[in-house]
Each structure stands twice: as C-alpha cells, then as structure tokens.
Amino acid sequence: MKDTVTLKELAAIAVRRGRLAIILALIFALLLGGWRAHGLIAKAKSEENSPEKIEERYQEAMESYAANKEDLEEQLAKAETQLESQREYNGKSFLMEIDPHNKAVTTINLAITDVAEGAFQQVFRLEDTPIDFIISKIQSQYVILWNSLDLQSSLSYSPRPGMEDKYLREIVTLSKSDGGCLTLAASGVSEEETRKLAEAAYDCLLGLQTRISEGSYRHGFAQLSDVTKISVDDHLEETQTANLEKITTYTESIADLNEQLANLEEPEKDTGDTPLEIALSAVKYAVLGAAVGILLTLVWALASYLFRNRAETSRQLEEGLSIAFLGSVAKPGSLWNRLADWIVGERLWPDEGQALDYISASAKAFLPASGTVLLASTLPLEKESVQGVMKALEGQGRTVRFVGGAGRSPETAAAVKECGCVVLAERSGVTRWDDAAGLTALAKSLDKPVSGFVTV
C-alpha cells in the first residue's frame, strides 16, 4: 500500500500542503502575468504600433481585401456566365440529342472534274501549273467559302426550325479528301432526317459552284458516293458526357466562390492594446500561472508521498497492514488538514467522548475479552497522550500497557511477549511504513496478534 495512492488521497496530500500551493500559485501567477503585461506594454510602445504604422497596415489590409473580393467576384461572374452558356448550349445543341449508339450519318463524296485550265486570268497563272495543284486550290476555296456562310439562312432544311449556324455546323461538315474530292457529311437522329439535311447541304454546295468558277477555274462535280447508315460514335458519347459534367463543375465552382465571398471578412482597424485589454490578458496569464503552481504542488505531493514513506490516511494503514481500525482520538487540525480529511473521508470524532465510546465498542468486537493488551506506537508518544485510549481499551478484565517509540525501544520485544495482543497507536501523515511494518512483523514472529490500530 505504500506504493499506491488514489486520486482523492493525492489531492488530500496536496491540500495538506496548502500553504506551499498558495505560494507556488502566487509565484507563477506573478511571473506569467507580469511577463505578459510587460510584453504587451512594450509592444504598445514600439514604433510598429504607432498610429502611422497602424494606419499603414490597415490600408494594406483593406487593399488586399478589396483585391481578393474583386477577384472572387470576377471569378464568380465568369463561372455564372459559363454555366448559363453551357446550359444554353446543352439545351439548343442538336448534337446532344443524338444517340451515340444509333447515330444516323449521310456521307456524299464529290470529285472535282472538267477543270478548264485556261479559263483563269493568265496573269495569275503559270503555264506549267500542275492540274493537281489547281484542284487543291478549288477544294480549299469551297471549304473557305463554306465556312463563311450562315448555314441557318443558306440551307433549305434543318432538323429543328430556326436552328442557328453554330449548331448546324456540328451536324453538317464539308472537308477536303485525297484525290481532289470533297466530302459532305450530315448527322442526325434518323436516316430520313440526315438524308434531307445532306441534300440541302448539297444544293447549297452546288450554288457555290458558279461563284467559285467565276472567280477561279471553271469545273464540274462528279458524285462518287451517297451513303446513309446507322453508326456508333464513341467520341460523341464522350463529348455529351463532358458537356453534362461541365454543368456540375460550374455549379460547384459557383457554390465554392459564394462560400469564399461569404467568409471573406473586412479587416478591422487595429487600435492597439488598450489598458483594459492588457490587464485582462495579464489576468488570464496569471490564472494560468496559478494553475501551473497548483499542478506543481500535486507533482510535489506525489513525489513526497513516494519518497517520504509515510502512511497518509487511516485507510492506507488498515489495508496496508491488514488490521482493523478501532477508532480515532485525533483532533481536527488546521483549515488545510480539515479540508484534506473531508476529501478522503477521514474517520474523526470531534467529540472525545464519542471517540472513546467507538474505540470501546470496537475493542469488544476485535480484542480478546481479557488479558493484557499492548498499546504500542512507533512514534515517540508520551503515555499521557493516550490515556483516553487506554481507558477505552480497558474492560472485561483487560490490562493495557503502553510502549512509545516501539521501533527503537529495547523493552518492546519483552512487552510483546508478555501481552495477549497488540494494538497500534499511530498518526496519519506521520507514521513511517517501515516502522509500522517492522512492529507488526515483530509481533507475528512472537506469535502475538496485532488486533487493530487507533489514530491519535
């Protein structure tokens, strides 16, 4: 038991050293509180906290705040515009309506034929210009002129009434092919629809033939193929998915930007630490210092308990020596001791008569009915200090003998031999474990029972 202690007992040990706790708490409170106050006062008097410097920092903070806010608002406006644009595109784009696993495509391949090489103004033509080069130029002229058209007004048919040029160009394309050919491709949700769209585009292309012939080389067309089929377009599926995911991306970006704007706080002008703020901060640190002092007292209490080798409470004596508690005639001590006794529930009787009655009753229960009882104490007590205990133990023909300083008294062994049982008289917080254990061992070695103990 000398190596174990409960939290309550540790607290009681610390409370018994209340004066030390107060001294340490005051020392650390003054140290930390004074250090904090000195630091804040020095800071308040420094050049960095002059009114000019404070105003300069405030203006810099305001400029940074305004720049951050403006940047976030610009990003938010851009994201909202992108979201609105993407929603409009997803709603109007015919490409988004096409099933990528059942995409209808009509492809018309045209060859440029009957090129009249001498028809172009000779000043712009070399005599040995290759025919392949001329056809390539005609191909490029068709593509350039096609790209400059407004398909919404140029095509006689569109899958949806009033479809704008940019959405028509997604489903109708004109491109150059090897061998002097042009490829016209139209996409849609059905074969009939794509054929109508391809025919309208082909009619438009024929309308361009006259304009290009007049400004370049006269030529004709030979239709090589006209194919309509259903196909699978993985790229279209990826494009549709990407366009749908952009809605989610822009929406999340807008929510995040709005949250950043909501959390953006306008900087407050630093007025420096006022005397009241300095005082409150110093008080906080003083309280922290007091807590540190009290904590150190607890550490000291534990260390002193472990190294002082003292029995701090009657419970420890009772459980450590495995003997019965017969009562106590100890008087409540100072305020700190009374508080410590209350914490651990120490068994004390303020009234001496009640205390002796309790000891007398306990003696009847735990001690032999007659014979000699040795009241022994490891402490250097005088017989007068235990007279009341001796009277309480006497009864039913018992004789009580007292030995003080039993651990060092030469008559202790003889007294133990002559008695019928031993009762210890010890004091909480004073009795040494080694002395109490040694006296108990001596009694057992002489076959004399230690029947209990009282605290004095």
> Which parts of the chain sit beneath pLDDT 70?
1-5, 16-18, 44, 117-129, 272-273, 304-308, 333-334, 336, 344-345
Q: What pLDDT, on the 0 to 100 scale, is given for residue 205?
A: 92
The 8-class DSSP code of residue 108 comes to E
d(CA 301, CA 10): 7
pLDDT in tens, 163-207: 999 999 999 999 998 888 999 999 999 999 999 999 999 999 999
Q: What pLDDT, on the 0 to 100 scale, is given for residue 129?
A: 55
d(CA 12, CA 59): 58
Which residues partner with 225 through β-bridges?
Answer: 109
Q: Are 282 and 34 in contact (CB under 8 A)?
A: yes
Residue 206 is inside which H or E element, if any?
A: helix 191-215
Q: How far is CA 92 from the centre of its chain?
A: 46
The 8-class DSSP code of residue 243 comes to H
Burial class for 1, CB neighbours closer than 10 Å (0-12, 13-18, 19+): middle
Q: What pLDDT, on the 0 to 100 scale, is given for residue 164?
A: 95
3-state secondary structure 280-323: HHHHHHHHHHHHHHHHHHHHHHHHHHHHHCECCCHHHHHHHHCC
Buried-state track 437-451, b at ≥16 Cβ within 10 A, e below 16: bebbebbeeeebebb
pLDDT in tens, 37-77: 888 777 767 777 777 777 888 888 899 999 999 999 999 99
d(CA 395, CA 371): 10
The model's pTM is: 0.51
Burial class for 162, CB neighbours closer than 10 Å (0-12, 13-18, 19+): exposed
Q: Are 290 and 28 in contact (CB under 8 A)?
A: yes
d(CA 204, CA 148): 13
